[in-house]
Structure formats: C-alpha cells, structure tokens
C-alpha cells in the first residue's frame, strides 16, 4: 500500500512536522506499506500534487502540526480530492484547534475546564482597559495567556500582574486574531492519548503520562521538544486507580465530543483538591522521538510500527464508512 506522508506546511511547527514525517516514514511496516515523502513548503506548495496522490497512492498520512495541518485546512484539500487520510476530518480538526470552542463543548458535557476570557484583536484595540478589568474580575492573577488557535504551547505566558497581562496579550494578538486569558491552575500535569478503529464507539485510552517540566515552569514548546526539557512518567506515581480512570475517561470523552478519529491526545491538570481540568485536545499529536503518543502507546504494549498501522487502518475504515 502506497502511503503519502505529508509533512512541513506553512506553520510555526514546520520543523517539528518534518521530524514527525521522518519518524512515520521510518516506522511504517515495510512489509505492508511503501511510504512516499510529500513535503509541503512554508508557502503551501506541495512536492507532489493532491491530484497525483489521488491517482497513484492509497492513503495520506498527515504528519503536520499547527495551522494548515491541524486546523482542517489540509483535511479539506484531501477531502476535495477524495483521498483517504489519517486522523480527524476537517470539522473535528477545526474544532479541536479552536481551544475556546472545544473547551465549551467539554464544559457542557460535564468536564472541568479553566475559567477563560476570549479576546479578539479588534476588541483589544478598542477596549483594552475594559478587557483587562474583565479578566481581573473573573479570573484573578496569575493568569495564562495563549493563542486560541495554535499548538505545541507556542506563545504561552503566565502573567502575574496587569503590566505583564497587557504585554502578553499585545504580543499574542500581534501574531494571532484571538487569544485566551485563563485562570492559572496549579497542579500536576497529565496527558492521555486515545486511539480508535475509525468510528467513535471504538475509542480507547492509552496509558496516561505525568509531565514534570524541567526547563520551564510549565509544559511549553521548550519543555516539549528539547532533550531533557521534561520528565514523562508512565505510569504516573502516587495516583490512585480511581484518578487514573478519571484521566482515561476524560481523554476518551474529549475525543468523542469533537468527533475525533484515529488518534488524539488530551492534556489535563489536577489541582491540590483533586479536581481534574481539561486544558486542550490535540488531533495530530507529535510523532517524534520526544513525543508523548509513542510513549503512551509503548507503555500500553503497542509498538511504534503497530501504532502507525492502527492509525492507517482507522483512516481506511473511516473512509469506507463515510
């Protein structure tokens, strides 16, 4: 089976995507698959056109992160050419990438999420002081400032006063249309991957992982991708079986709520009172050597090659069903 491995793209996560693509090509079982590298450059030009992929290959494996790759854009392109592809469809991808929208879905379904204020660029320009007062009244310091549509913890700030808040929001909105200001939740950070077989009812969790940042005060881009940037403990220590079940159940529920497919990873934090907050869902988690999905799969007895095979098989099944 010929697999077009898509990597790169016009995103701040271009380099991470290239690493994921390389790992996918190396990890696919050569007895079942023939991977073909399809790099998309930073301006969105495809090394091999979607038309040629449709004619000559069986499936596209999306190893792309952030904007274009994870927000539904590349999925819509593939859908328009009727090319089977891995991961969630364009709508689920767009919902997952929109942190504010997905957090509303999670909250409505009974999951706890941090209190949040959504700030648009025009609102910030016209009513800066009012937005600051709203955030201070509803959230209180410290707060977390981050883009509404971005991955890999890029441009995330913890602010402790009004001046830091203004600087962080101004910086973020110079690059993005919307930013989130959230109540800071202190506690233990966990993540949990979910796989399925191409339909929602088949979703099941991988082993949860506790993340202890080493190079940063929280799990930011540096902690995620630099060697030694964080400790990842699987299984987490000193966590009750009931809490482990809560982490796994929250990940599966988040996966189902946005109608994710194939694979996802949900990040959470548990405060000192034992309350579990869902921070965000990732519909195309990293697949580099430092990434968490391969580690969670390994701890669940699933080799990297088997993980990739399951993701491809789920894509083919979803395409046949849909």
Give 35-72 pLDDT, tens digit per residue.
Answer: 999 999 999 999 999 999 999 999 999 999 989 999 99
Strands (E), the chain: 2-8, 34-40, 59-62, 116-120, 143-147, 157-159, 178-183, 188-195, 204-205, 209-213, 230-233, 263-270, 276-282
Write down the pTM of the prediction.
0.93
Domain with CATH 3.40.50.20 in the chain: 2-86
Tokens of 194: 């979910």
* Per-residue tokens: 167: 């600087």
Percent of residues, the chain, with pLDDT higher than 70: 94
* Catalytic residue list contains 112: no
Residue 267 marked as a ligand binder: yes
Catalytic residue among 17, 90, 102, 152: 152
Q: For 185-205, what is the mean pLDDT?
A: 96
Q: Which DSSP state fits 316?
A: H
Residues 134-145 as b or e (16 or more Cβ within 10 Å = b): ebbeebeebbbb
Give the Cα separation of 246 and 265 in Å (integer): 15
* Annotated binding-site residue? 123: no
Please give the CATH topology (third level) of the domain spanning 95-112+186-321. D-amino Acid Aminotransferase; Chain A, domain 1 (3.30.470)
Report the CATH fold assignment for 2-86: Rossmann fold (3.40.50)
For 277-306, what is each residue's pLDDT tens digit?
999 999 999 897 778 999 999 999 999 999
Q: How far is CA 169 from the centre of its chain?
A: 22
CATH 3.30.470.20 residue window(s) in the chain: 95-112+186-321
State yes or no: is 152 an active-site residue.
yes
Q: How far is CA 11 from CA 8, 72, 150, 175, 291, in A?
A: 8, 13, 9, 12, 18
- Alpha-carbon gap, residue 33 to 24, rounded angstroms: 11
| Residue 213 pLDDT exceeds 60 | yes
Q: How confident is the model at residue 130 (pLDDT cuts 50, 70, 90)?
A: very high
The reported pLDDT for the residue numbered 151 is 64
- Homologous superfamily of 116-183 in CATH? ATP-grasp fold, A domain (3.30.1490.20)
Active site residue 43: no
The pLDDT of residue 248: 98
Residue from 7, 11, 12, 13 carrying the catalytic annotation: 13
CATH 3.30.1490.20 residue ranges of the chain are 116-183
- Which pLDDT score, from 0 to 100, does residue 25 have? 97
**What rounded mean pLDDT belongs to the chain?**
93
The verdict on whether residue 282 carries a ligand-binding annotation is: yes
d(C-alpha 112, C-alpha 278), whole Å: 6
Amino acid 218: pLDDT: 58
* Closest C-alpha to 193, from 223, 222, 234, 230: 234
3-class secondary structure, 181:
strand
| Token pair of 252 as six digits | 């599966």
Q: Name the DSSP letter for residue 322.
A: -
């Amino acid at each position: 089976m010929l697999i077009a491995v898509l990597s790169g793209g016009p995103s701040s996560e271009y380099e991470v995507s290239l690493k994921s693509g390389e790992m996918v090509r190396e990890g696919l079982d050569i007895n079942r698959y023939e991977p073909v590298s399809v790099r998309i450059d930073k301006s969105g030009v495809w090394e091999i056109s979607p038309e040629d992929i449709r004619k000559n290959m069986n499936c596209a494996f999306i190893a792309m992160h952030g904007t274009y790759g994870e927000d539904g854009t590349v999925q819509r392109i593939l859908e328009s050419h009727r090319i089977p592809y891995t991961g969630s469809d364009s709508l689920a991808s767009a919902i997952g990438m929109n942190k504010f929208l997905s957090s509303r879905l999670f909250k409505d379904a009974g999951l706890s999420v941090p209190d949040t204020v959504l700030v648009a660029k025009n609102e910030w320009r016209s009513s800066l002081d009012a937005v600051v007062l709203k955030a201070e009244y509803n959230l209180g310091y410290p707060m977390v400032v981050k883009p509404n549509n971005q991955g890999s913890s890029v441009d995330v700030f913890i602010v402790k006063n009004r001046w830091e808040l203004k600087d962080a929001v101004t910086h973020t909105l110079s690059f993005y249309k919307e930013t989130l200001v959230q109540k800071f939740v202190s506690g233990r950070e966990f993540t949990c991957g979910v796989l399925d077989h191409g339909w929602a009812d088949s979703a099941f969790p991988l082993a949860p992982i506790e993340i202890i940042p080493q190079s940063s005060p929280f799990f930011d881009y540096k902690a995620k991708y630099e060697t030694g940037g964080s400790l990842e403990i699987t299984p987490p220590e000193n966590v009750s079986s009931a809490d482990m079940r809560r982490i796994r159940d929250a990940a599966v529920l988040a996966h189902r709520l946005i109608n994710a497919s194939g694979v996802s990873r949900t990040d959470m934090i548990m405060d000192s009172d034992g309350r579990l907050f869902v921070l965000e869902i990732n519909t195309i988690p990293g697949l580099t050597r430092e990434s968490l999905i391969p580690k969670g799969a390994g701890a669940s007895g699933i080799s990297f090659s088997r993980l990739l095979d399951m993701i491809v098989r789920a894509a083919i099944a979803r395409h046949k069903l849909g």
